[in-house]
């Protein structure tokens, strides 16, 4: 059974390898990716973001981040180990990060993706993300999406 947990330093290398796997396969790796992947705690968590991990037994099989950028909170680094794709882990990670975003009283979350990632785009659409039909901040990504969140009830 796959469970979602907050980032733990002991999984830092697995976090990096899972993300490098899908980045290299689909859109390529940029310097900014290496910066985040080499020090996710400093570049995501210490800047007010969040990293969630999917574990199957004790094996890290998926990652997702909620990254604070200038003016927006972005979902980034959604990656699932190739051997575990197609099992709903990406959806499980997305739902968990959206729940955390609501707990933080965020009104909306954004993401950038590529037309090359049709499975991911279909997932995002099912979750209610809308294509903003505008250029993203990354040359690799040609799709910018937004989800407006309902206020959490505490």
CATH number of the structural domain spanning residue 63: 3.40.630.30
- 42 within a domain of the structure (yes/no): yes
Please give the model's pTM, rounded to 2 decimal places.
0.92
Q: What does the pLDDT read at residue 86?
A: 93
- 10 within a domain of the structure (yes/no): yes
- 153 within a domain of the structure (yes/no): no
Question: pLDDT tier at 95 (50, 70, 90 boundaries)?
Answer: very high
pLDDT in tens, 49-89: 999 999 999 899 999 999 998 888 999 999 999 999 999 99
Pairing of strands 72-80, 108-113: parallel
Per-residue tokens: 81: 């180990």
- 52 within a domain of the structure (yes/no): yes
- 154 within a domain of the structure (yes/no): no
Domain count, the chain: 1
Q: What does the pLDDT read at residue 141?
A: 81
The residue segments making up the domain with residue 112 are 2-148
- 67 within a domain of the structure (yes/no): yes
- Sign (positive/negative) of CA torsion 35, 38, 42, 44? positive
């Amino acid at each position: 059974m796959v469970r979602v947990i907050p980032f733990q330093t002991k999984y830092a290398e697995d976090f990096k390898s899972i993300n490098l796997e899908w980045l290299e396969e689909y859109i390529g790796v940029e310097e900014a990716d290496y910066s985040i992947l080499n020090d996710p705690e400093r570049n995501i968590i210490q800047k007010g973001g969040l990293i969630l991990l999917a574990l199957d037994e004790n094996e890290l099989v998926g990652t997702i981040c909620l990254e604070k950028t200038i003016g927006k909170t972005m979902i980034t680094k959604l990656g699932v180990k190739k051997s575990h794709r197609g099992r709903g882990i990406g959806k499980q990670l997305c739902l968990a990060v959206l729940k955390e975003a609501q707990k933080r009283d965020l009104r909306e979350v954004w993401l950038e993706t590529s037309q090359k990632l049709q499975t991911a785009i279909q997932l995002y659409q099912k979750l209610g993300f809308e294509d903003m039909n505008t250029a993203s901040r990354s040359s690799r990504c040609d799709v910018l999406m937004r989800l407006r969140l309902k206020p959490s009830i505490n």
